[in-house]
Amino acid sequence: MPIAHICEAARRCTNGVYEMLYVLTTIPDGLLELDAARLHEMLPGPTLLQLPGRRPEPLFVSVLLHGNEDVGWLAVRALLRNFATKDLPRALTVFIGNVAAARANQRFLPEQPDYNRIWQGGSAIDGRPEQRMVQEVLKWAHARELFACIDIHNTTGINPHYASLRRTDHRSLQLATLFGRTVVYYRRPKGVLIAAFSDHCPAVTVECGKPGQEQGVVHARDYINACLHLSEIPNHTVAVHDIDLFHTIATVKVPASLSLGFTGDDDIRLVNDLDHLNFRELPVGTTLGWVRSNSNVSLDVRDELGADVSERFFDLQDGEIRTRLPVIPAMLTLSVQAIRQDCLCYLMERYEQPDGATQPLQSDTSL
């Protein structure tokens, strides 16, 4: 399908009101031959690809919210190739997000907001095209009985494959553990896509390792395929031996005023194997880095309500940044750019009731 025809179809679907979100109801010839960096050749921007299936309630799959995390698109492409001559078992809608950033292999472009921080409004996107795009996607979603929502990502550091969610009702946990036993519940950051979907259907984010790892693509493809074949998502407790549940209790950022690196004379110099600490239970006194002498340095640590808890978690001793409490970090990375654009890490604790049953937390989409 020529690009002009795609654009015109999108404008008709949105009544000519909004032209950033494009809508497709068939797969254009050649689309599945393109890698993420070339999608701009056929897709002018964020796109909803709506495909029918034997069961009508759509599975919603989001890919490329971050342009340098291509595992979701590669998994969807592989899946759709497998169904080239047969019907999908369930309707499938794929939201292809930041096509422009994918072209540049960047999380997002300098003039853009982070596409996974815009789904609950806020002044950061007021009046921007992305605000209207989000409104159109959510309007589409709320007009349908969605089966489930899956947002697919890569990580920049060494992490296990895991699922994360914003609420721990039985169906959400069942959907998460279908991906794997490692599951993270979190309330921040705000504005993530699954926060906007969680009150409408079971919704999870799946983290599929670093870009370029084939096992991540295979895992994501097989997970989407398994979800498409489900007739329903079980609504009973996940067995304790089938889940390792973590709860994110704080987000750690490096203030923009401080220089940062892994070598040299920066305000903060981090240990050079930092991402090997992910999902490990760190004892009190673990060193994450060093500060330049005579520097007034502190990390910015916020709990899930946004309160400053820096002194609770970290201490500065003999020029070293050390943990003050036992913690489990996630998303530590060796990429300074990723730290600047997102955070240094998240701090977690294991989450379970004394009897081993998972704690029934409430949704927090009002945050």
Q: How confident is the model at residue 123 (pLDDT cuts 50, 70, 90)?
A: low
Q: DSSP labels for 1-57?
A: --HHHHHHHHHHHTTTS--SSEEESS--TTGGG--GGGGGGT--SSEEEEE-EEEEE
Least confident of 17-26, 231-240, 304-313, 327-336: 17-26
Percent of residues, the chain, with pLDDT higher than 90: 84
For residue 77, the cross-strand partners are none
Kind of pairing, strands 244-253 and 182-185?
Answer: parallel
* 193 and 330 together in one domain: no
pLDDT band at 54 (very low <50, low <70, confident <90, very high): very high
Overall average pLDDT of the 94-107 stretch: 98
pLDDT for position 213: 98
Q: Is 64 left (phi over 0), alpha (psi -120 to 50) or beta?
A: left
What per-residue confidence (pLDDT) applies to 357? Answer: 44
Residue 233: other Cβ atoms inside 10 A = 17
Helix (H/G/I), strand (E/B), else coil: 74 = helix
Q: What is the dihedral of CA 23, 93, 364, 239, to 10 degrees?
A: -170
Residue 91 parent element (H or E): strand 88-96
The stretch 57-73 carries a mean pLDDT of: 98
For residue 19, what pLDDT is reported?
A: 59
Tally of domains in the chain: 2
Residue 362 in any domain: the answer is no
Amino acid at 322: R
Same structural domain, 16 and 75: yes
Domain for residue 54, yes or no?
Answer: yes
pLDDT tens readout for residues 10-23: 444 443 334 589 99
Q: Of the candidates 236, 266, 288, which is a domain's last residue?
A: 236
Q: Do 196 and 288 fall into the same domain?
A: no
What average pLDDT does the chain have?
91
Let me know whether 226 and 256 are in one domain.
no
Q: Residue 5: its pLDDT value, please? A: 43
Q: What would the two tokens of residue 231 be?
A: 């007739």
Sign of CA dihedral 97, 162, 210, 290: positive
Query: Can you give the pLDDT at residue 292?
Result: 87
User: Is pLDDT at 282 greater than 50 in this prediction?
Assistant: yes
Residue 109, in any domain of the structure: yes
Do 219 and 161 lie in one domain? The reply is yes
330: number of Cβ within 10 Å: 24
Residue 353 lies in a domain: no
Question: In this structure, which amino acid lies at residue 296?
Answer: N
Stretch 50-64: mean pLDDT: 98
**Domain span holding position 35:** 3-236
Nearby residues of 16 by Cβ (< 8 Å), 6 or more positions away: none
Give the C-alpha separation, 40 to 51, whole Å: 20
pLDDT over 50 at 38, yes or no: yes
160, 193: one domain: yes
Nearest-angstrom CA–CA distance, 211 and 88: 27
What does pTM read for this prediction?
A: 0.91
Distance CA 88, CA 144 (A): 18
From residue 146, alpha-carbon distances to 56, 201, 224, 242, 252 in Å are: 9, 6, 15, 26, 34
Spatial neighbors of 339 by CB under 8 A, at least 6 apart, are 254, 260, 333
Same domain, 266 and 310: yes
The pLDDT value given to residue 142:
95
Q: What pLDDT score does 295 carry?
A: 66
Q: Is residue 92 part of a domain?
A: yes
In a domain, 360, yes or no: no
Average pLDDT over residues 337-364: 72
Q: Strands 148-153 and 53-63: what pairing?
A: parallel
Tens-place pLDDT, residues 163-174: 999 999 999 999
Closest CA to 63 of 50, 53, 73: 73
Q: Are residues 45 and 146 in the same domain?
A: yes
* Main-chain phi, psi angles of 260, to 5 degrees: -145, 140
| pLDDT for the residue 87 | 97
Residue 294: what pLDDT? 65
Cα separation, 333 vs 238, whole angstroms:
31
**Across 246-250, average pLDDT:** 97
Q: Which two tokens stand for residue 229?
A: 């074949």
Residue 89 predicted with pLDDT over 60? yes
Task: Using the 3D structure, point to which of 176, 210, 236 is the last residue of a domain.
Answer: 236
**What CA–CA distance (Å, rounded) separates 219 from 223?**
6
| pLDDT-derived band at 127, boundaries 50, 70, 90 | confident
Task: Count Cα neighbours of 269 within 13 Å in the Cβ-side half-sphere.
Answer: 13
Count the Cβ atoms, other than its own, within 10 Å of residue 271. Answer: 18
Tell me, yes or no, whether 86 and 109 share the same domain: yes
- Whether the pLDDT of residue 358 is over 90: the answer is no
Residues 168 and 296 in one domain: no
Q: What is the mean pLDDT of residues 121-130?
A: 81
My answer on whether 51 and 116 are in the same domain is: yes
Q: Which of 186, 208, 236 is the last residue of a domain?
A: 236
CA–CA distance, 150 with 206 (Å, rounded to integer): 7
